[in-house]
Amino acid sequence: MFSNLRKWIAAATLFPIAAANVLPANAATAGASEPREYTVSATEQNRLEIAGRAIKKVVPSHKGALTYVKDKGNGVFYFAFANGGDGMGTETLYVIDDQGATYQLLLQPRRVPSANIIVPAAGDAPGRSAAARTAATSSAYQSAIKDLVYEMAAAQVDPSADPAASAVPVHQDVPLWKEARLTFDTKYVDDTFVGEQYTLTNVSSSDMVIAEQELYRPGVVVVAVEQQTLAPGDSTRVYIVRERGRDE
């Protein structure tokens, strides 16, 4: 049983966060020329920023797909899908900043609240030291994250398990999508990270496919979902690891 659990966690993909509010599908070190994938609201206004730089020009791959306003004073960009995103797949958006760097963004419209996207500037992730960037990609850092995910998952399989991190029951519903119910079950706190274990239930009448990127928020370093496709009424456990705050 625990051997299979280890294999599942070993296969889980870790997505280190390069900057606050960044929701990358690729590694945090992706260059500006490499596509970056973001989940955005199909029905509400979204905000886009290049960290530390101003947006000068945007070019959607499909003319008329987006309605948008540029805030020239702050160098940011507000956009929405012209038709509410109905029937749309991924929309590619090319963005050029004030230093001439070009970014290819893959926008995935979903019926979620408006997104605040902050894309790391070309060449680096602003606000992070070289030591922090090295730590975020080091094997020790990755191992510590996976160990915490393992402890959370093992506690669900074996209630008598004694995780190294302090476990705090929460039992709180968290607003997500109208098609889903998300319950924050338990919080696990260790010296560096905080682990959060949730139960996500499909309350709709259709199958649900869960993309881990859709569950990111600022400060999160990894999201792991046990079962990414849910039939109506089915549930799955979700494990989130984030950096520990100063006051925790």
3-state per-residue secondary structure call for 196-233: EEEEEEECCCCCEECCHHHHCCCCEEEEEECCCEECCC
In a domain, 22, yes or no: no
pLDDT at residue 47, as a whole number: 93
> What pLDDT was estimated at residue 158?
66
Q: Which domain holds residue 55?
A: 36-119
Q: Into how many domains does the chain fold?
A: 2
Q: What integer best gives the mean pLDDT of the chain? A: 76
Verify that 141 and 238 share a domain, yes or no: yes
3-class DSSP state of 17 = coil
Domain assignment present for residue 124? The answer is no
Identify the pLDDT of residue 195: 92
11 domain-assigned: yes
What pLDDT, on a 0 to 100 scale, did the predictor assign at position 77?
92
User: Do the beta carbons of residue 141 and residue 133 sit within 8 Å?
Assistant: no
Rounded CA-CA distance 177/16 in Å is 24
Residue 212 has pLDDT above 90, yes or no: no
Residues 110 and 46 in one domain: yes
> Residue 56's closest CA among 71, 39, 35?
71
In a domain, 59, yes or no: yes
The share of the chain scoring above pLDDT 70, in percent, equals 73
Give me the percent of the chain exceeding a pLDDT of 90.
Answer: 22
**Same structural domain, 90 and 6:** no
CA distances (Å), 48 to each of 42, 81, 102, 127, in order?
Answer: 14, 14, 14, 18
Note whether 236 and 157 are same-domain residues. Answer: yes
Q: Give the C-alpha separation, 66 to 33, whole Å.
A: 22
More confident: 100 or 205: 205
- Shared domain for 205 and 167, answered yes or no, is yes
* Candidate from 70-74, 112-116, 164-168 with smallest mean pLDDT: 164-168
The number of residues making up the chain comes to 248
Sheet holding 46-50, edge to edge: 66-71, 76-81, 46-50, 116-119
Mean pLDDT in residue range 190-208: 90
The verdict on residue 28 lying in a domain is no
Domain boundary among 95, 119, 143: 119
Question: Model pTM?
Answer: 0.50
CB atoms inside a 10 Å sphere around CB 202: 22
Q: What is the pLDDT of residues 4-62, one digit of tens each?
A: 445 555 544 444 433 233 333 332 333 445 788 898 888 899 999 998 889 988 888 88
Q: pLDDT higher for 106 or 83?
A: 106
Tokens linked to 41: 């609201």
Q: Which of these three, 119, 146, 167, is where a domain ends?
A: 119
Residue 190 has pLDDT above 60, yes or no: yes
